[in-house]
Amino acid sequence: MAVRAVVVTRRGSPDVLRVERRPKPEPRRGEVRVAVEAAGLNFADVLARAGLYPDAPKLPCVLGYEVAGTVDAVGAGVESLHPGDRVMAGTHFKGQAEFAVAKAVDTLQIPDGMSAVEAAAIPVAYMTAYAGLVLMAGVRRGERVLIHAAAGGVGIAATQIGRHLGAVIIGTASAAKHDRVRENGAEHCIDYRTESVSDEVRRITNGEGVDVTFNALGPTSLRADWQLLRPGGRVVAYGASQVQQGDRRNMRAAIGTVLGFPFATMPWWKGPAMLNENKGVFGLNLLHWWEREGNLERLLEPLRELLAAGVVKPVVDSTFTFERAPDAHRRLMEAKNVGKVVLTPN
């Protein structure tokens, strides 16, 4: 049986996306098959479609890291889940299809009263935020945390989790999004389009700086983030959204980003002097984390607790049918979203 899926037919603009038929996947041992009602869209999908994501599958391919829906079938050895269970799951690509498979250990039950669209907005964003703020940066009560792109899916997740930890959140976003960013827990907002983020952070903190910065932008802002850290401060870099500029693959921007990272993420030019600053830089790639550990259990277990405690409140910006996947990509590329962009089969 063939099922519909969003296929990246070749590298290029969003117009290279097509809805095509692919074989219905079969769950292997330890896996479940999910009848997908909603699939989250992430910036990694945008980069992969443009040919700027080295971990993407060989083209043509189906992308997608997270889905929500109903368990349709279970593989051998799966006892914790049964057909009919409503779940959200991390998918190692191939999530943007009518049916997708996932390891049973990489699933969470959807809470009562939560829609599949809301559930699909949770896994990648909240696992990234938890890994960065808790496991890497070790954010503590009273610390100041600067979150770039605070109105995006990961940015909102980080704001909610950071606020839950008792941190003082400073979020960057365009002015029109400030109210939404504050609703999710930011105490201060900075309009990165019209204000100097560095100057505003120093004003807000009376020149003291911040303890943690959570950065999805790339090297242009990483060096500035380093300079804003107080002693003991940590930069967590989890993306490079500046690589993709406009509808097409921008090789000059891509090469500039790659060449710029060594100078932005580790201030090696300072030599022994950096040892006296007591600062650190973390790089976070959720896919590599996932592959190294073999599953998402270390991130999903605390996420389950945060869901039960009401800390996780997914914000869905918009939904697009599979046929409108190009429009969904453009919305992310143009930074128009507040929260997650989600794809649905129909």
Burial string for 315-338 (b: 16+ CB within 10 Å, else e) reads bbbbbbebebbbebbbbbbeeebb
Structure tokens at 200: 């505003």
For residues 325 and 254, state if they share a domain: no
Instruction: Find, among 308, 146, 292, 113, the residue nearest to 215 by Cα.
Output: 146
Residue 294 domain-assigned? no
Tally of structural domains, the chain: 2
Residue 246 and residue 113 in one domain: no
Q: Does this model's pTM top 0.85?
A: yes
Helical (H) or strand (E) element with 61 = strand 61-62
Positions of E strands within 191-313: 210-215, 229-237, 280-283
Measured CA to CA in angstroms, residue 82 lies from 18, 35, 64, 120, 297 at distances of 32, 13, 23, 19, 19
Using a 10 angstrom Cβ sphere, with 0-12 exposed, 13-18 middle and 19 or more buried, the burial of residue 245 is middle
Structure tokens at 308: 């039960």
* Closest residue by Cα to residue 124 from 55, 195, 45: 45
Same domain, residue pair 241 and 257: yes
Nearest to 97 by CA among 29, 14, 33, 32: 33
Co-location of 24 and 37 in the same domain: yes
Residue 298 lies in a domain: no
Name the residue range of residue 145's domain. 125-287
pLDDT in tens, the chain (346 residues): 899 999 999 999 999 999 999 999 999 999 999 999 999 999 999 999 999 899 999 999 999 999 999 999 999 999 999 999 999 999 999 999 999 999 999 999 999 999 999 999 999 999 999 999 999 999 999 999 999 999 999 999 999 999 999 999 999 999 999 999 999 999 999 999 999 999 999 999 999 999 999 998 876 788 899 999 999 999 999 976 555 544 444 545 554 554 445 445 555 555 566 678 889 889 999 999 999 999 999 999 999 999 999 999 999 999 999 999 999 999 999 999 999 999 999 9
- 52 and 68 share a domain? yes
Residue in the block written with tokens 């128009």: 336
Cα gap 260→219, rounded to integer Å? 6
Enter the tokens of residue 10.
Answer: 């070749």
Q: What is the CATH number of the domain that holds 60?
A: 3.90.180.10
Flag whether 130 is in a domain. yes
Using CA atoms, how far apart are residues 163 and 169, in angstroms rounded to an integer?
7
Residue 320 lies in a domain: yes
Residue 305 inside a domain? The answer is: no
In this structure, the number of other CB atoms found within 10 A of the CB of residue 72 comes to 19
- CA distances (Å), 31 to each of 34, 75, 344, in order? 10, 5, 22
Residues 239, 137, single domain; the answer is: yes
Amino acid type, 344: T
Does any domain span residue 145?
yes
Residues 218, 331, single domain; the answer is no
- Is there a domain that residue 239 lies in? yes
Q: Please give the backbone phi and psi of residue 118, each rounded to the nearest 5 degrees, phi first.
A: -65, -40
Half-sphere exposure of 26 (CA within 13 A, CB side): 4
The pair of three-digit structure tokens given for residue 8, joined into one six-digit string: 């990246």
Asked if residue 328 and residue 266 are part of one domain, the reply reads no
* Whole-number pLDDT of residue 223: 86
Q: CATH code at 275?
A: 3.40.50.720
Distance in angstroms (rounded) separating the CA atoms of residues 66 and 309: 22
* Whether residue 277 sits in one domain with residue 134: yes
Domain annotation covers residue 299:
no
Task: Indicate the residue among 251, 270, 287 that finishes a domain.
Answer: 287
One domain for residues 152 and 283: yes
Question: Is residue 116 domain-shared with residue 131, that is, in the same domain?
Answer: no
Residue 277: the pLDDT is 84
* Same domain, yes or no: 227 and 132: yes
CA-atom Rg of the chain in angstroms: 20
